[in-house]
Structures are given as structure tokens and as C-alpha cells.
Amino acid sequence: MLTVKGLNTEYPSLKGPPVKAAQDVAFEVPAGKFFTLLGPSGCGKTTTLRSIAGLERPVGGEISVNGRLVYSAEKKIFIPPNQRNFGMVFQSYAIWPHMTVFANAAFPLEVRKTKLSKKEIRDKVMRVLSAVALDQYAEREATRLSGGQQQRLALARALVMEPELLLLDEPLSNLDAKLRDRMRFELKRIQRELGLTTIYVTHDQGEALALSHEIAVMNEGRIVQVGAPRDIYDHPRTKFVADFIGTTNFIDGVALGQDSTSGRWNVRTPVGDLLVHTDQTLAANMRVTVSIRPEDVELLEEPAAANGYNLVSGLVDQKVFLGDMVDFQVKVDDYILLSRAHPSLRTPIGDRIYIRMNPEKCVAIPDTSPARAAA
């Protein structure tokens, strides 16, 4: 298990106070799980990973792996990176061009303090090359590998040391889109089969959702939400998380009161009164933002079919055919709602269409400032 408590990492600046790259970062990763640090550039995710690796020296907090402290500000403990037994794969694979595939993977074993026999090295190397499906290329020059194969070789070189923790810093970002999608499956398979505790850094929401057991979304050096991929996607706790993870509609509104039967809240919005879900504390007259994903904005051509809660109507403003789906922009008064529908829906631009939104999928995110009661 990896445990990070109150981690603070700073960088000196030429003018003014130091840059606080990671602020009070805290999370736990159970053994064998895949944990992703997700966020935009400059949010502190790579700094957090490098602090775990020992490549940056934090100014506060504590990091432990399987009960062993590798960093503690209070106890003045800092284990050097080469003594932490962590494997790390960077965005740049740093493959040795003058070596074969086998020699690249064997290199960490050959330079370690505890010497191994040639047979032990060969057995370990061939085992990891087999795990990443490169055993048949063992004697090939590393420069003759494809981008995806080089990525797997970098992974094999990290795995050969049998690390307690695998740290991956945007390892797929240099691959083309199709190869990146394929490597997601490869990474997930390898991690699952080897049972490696893995920390993954990315700005790609699709990667995070596809690979992770749990995601920590970061912004401005802090973790703003931690949860399983589906929970993060379906129940964002801040407008930043809702906006950063996938595509969503935002509708401004004011909370009116809680429904006594369902426990959901009634919110007055410019598109009409909506019944919404929230995991957070609301109060009457509180200003909120309602987030609803395009795939949860259900479009209906007949008003008779539109029954239930959260029903509105509008005019088809734009639509884009994407093959397996059609993106509709529907104008409801002054609001444009984005909906993702099946291609069988062919309502022409300019025609009226009816909208139904499941209250469970309408997530109310509270603002910090109170608002006047809606008229």
C-alpha cells in the first residue's frame, strides 16, 4: 500500500515566494490497484509523482510504501530514489539505441549492487519480455521497434527490478491515437496479471477512466476529488471536475427546497424547474450549477412520449453526424443543450424536439456564495 499524507512540494522562483506545486496532497492506494493522478498541465500531478519517486524533495508531509517510510518531514527521513525499489516509466522512453531489446531490459539488473548470475538475469528478463509480448524480439536492435513496442520495452525495464511500486508519467502521450487506445488494454492487462500497485499520471480523461481503479483529480496543486472512475464521472463535486472529465451541460439555477418523498432537490433554472441529485449540502436560495452529460439528455420527437420529470422542449439548432452517434444542439429559450443521440433520430434543424432528463443524472453543484430567492 502507498500512503501519502500532507505532501507539500515547492520550487524556488527568481522573484517572489516559492511556487507551491503540490499542496497538502493526501491519498492511499491499496496493494495491486491502479491509481491515476489526473489534471491539466501545471496542476501538480507530475510533481506529486516525482516526489513519490524521490526525484523531488518535498518540504512537508509523509510518504510510505507497505509500512516503510521513504519520506517524512517530521522525522527527517529521505530515502534516495535508487533505494526505494520503485519502477518508473517516463513520457520519453529513454531506450538505449546501441543495445538490443534484451540488453535494454537487462541493464538495471547488471548495474545493481546485488549481483546476479547470467542465468538469473536471463530468466528474469525473458519473463518480463514475455509479459509485455516482446520475447520474440529479444535480439532485435531497440531502434527497430515501433513506438508501441518501445513503450512496452520501457515498461519491461521498469518491471525487471520487481518494484514495490510502478510509477508511470504520461507514458502513452507520444503514441498515435489508435496505438494509444491499444496500449491502454495492454497496460491494464499487464498491471492486472502482475498485480502491481501502479500510480499513473495523465491529462487524458479517457485514459484515466479506462485504466483506473481510482482517480484523484488535481487542480492548482491540490486534489479536488478522489473516487472510482464512474463516481467521478457521474457525481462530480465541483464545476471544475464536471467540466474537466468529459463533456457536460451546465445550467445555472437556485435551489428551492428538498422533495420530501425522493430526497432530491428542486432547482429553478432558465429552462424550467428541475428535480436534481446531489451528494452535497444545499440550502434554500443557494445558487447552484446543474451538470448533466449529453448522453443523459434524452431527445423525443413526440410530446406524448415525454412524460415524467424534468421535461422541456426546444428547437434543434445544430446537429453533427459522428457515425455511431449524432450530437444535437437544442435551443431552449436562451440556453443551448448538447445531447448525444442514436443516429436513428433524424429531426431536422429548426424543428421542435422534446427533452427528458433523469433527475439522478442531473447533478447539483453548490456555489460558495448565496443567491436571492428565484422569482
Positions of the chain with pLDDT lower than 70, given as ranges:
93, 304-307, 368-375
Q: Which of 289, 281, 290, 285 is nearest to 257 (CA)?
A: 285
d(CA 200, CA 356): 38
- Per-residue confidence (pLDDT) for residue 305, from 0 to 100: 66
CA distances from 1 to 28, 32, 166, 240, 354 (A): 7, 8, 12, 29, 50
The secondary structure of residue 351, as a DSSP letter, is S
Residue tagged 482517480 (cell numbers): 215
- Per-residue confidence (pLDDT) for residue 111, from 0 to 100: 79
Of the chain, the end-to-end C-alpha distance in Å amounts to 53
- Per-residue confidence (pLDDT) for residue 114, from 0 to 100: 77
- Per-residue confidence (pLDDT) for residue 188, from 0 to 100: 87
- Per-residue confidence (pLDDT) for residue 304, from 0 to 100: 66
- Per-residue confidence (pLDDT) for residue 375, from 0 to 100: 33
Q: Are 132 and 89 in contact (CB under 8 A)?
A: no
- Per-residue confidence (pLDDT) for residue 151, from 0 to 100: 82
Which cell numbers in the block locate residue 161? 527490478
| 183 Cβ contact list (under 8 Å, min separation 6) | 148, 151, 152, 172, 175
Residue-wise pLDDT for 52-67, tens only, equals 999 999 999 999 999 9
d(CA 162, CA 307): 58
Q: Where are the alpha helices (DSSP H) in the chain?
A: 45-53, 101-110, 118-131, 147-159, 177-194, 205-211, 229-234, 239-244
Which cell numbers in the block locate residue 212? 483506473
d(CA 188, CA 182): 10
The domains of the chain, with CATH numbers, are 2-239 (3.40.50.300), 248-370 (2.40.50.140)
CA distances from 174 to 168, 209, 317 (A): 13, 19, 37
Q: Are 44 and 221 in contact (CB under 8 A)?
A: yes
Q: Are 355 and 330 in contact (CB under 8 A)?
A: yes
- Per-residue confidence (pLDDT) for residue 329, from 0 to 100: 97
- Per-residue confidence (pLDDT) for residue 371, from 0 to 100: 45
Q: How large is the angle between the packed helices 101-110 and 147-159, nearest 10 degrees?
A: 20
Residue tagged 501502479 (cell numbers): 198
Q: How large is the angle between the packed helices 177-194 and 147-159, nearest 10 degrees?
A: 20
Q: Write down the pTM of the prediction.
A: 0.87
d(CA 258, CA 277): 10
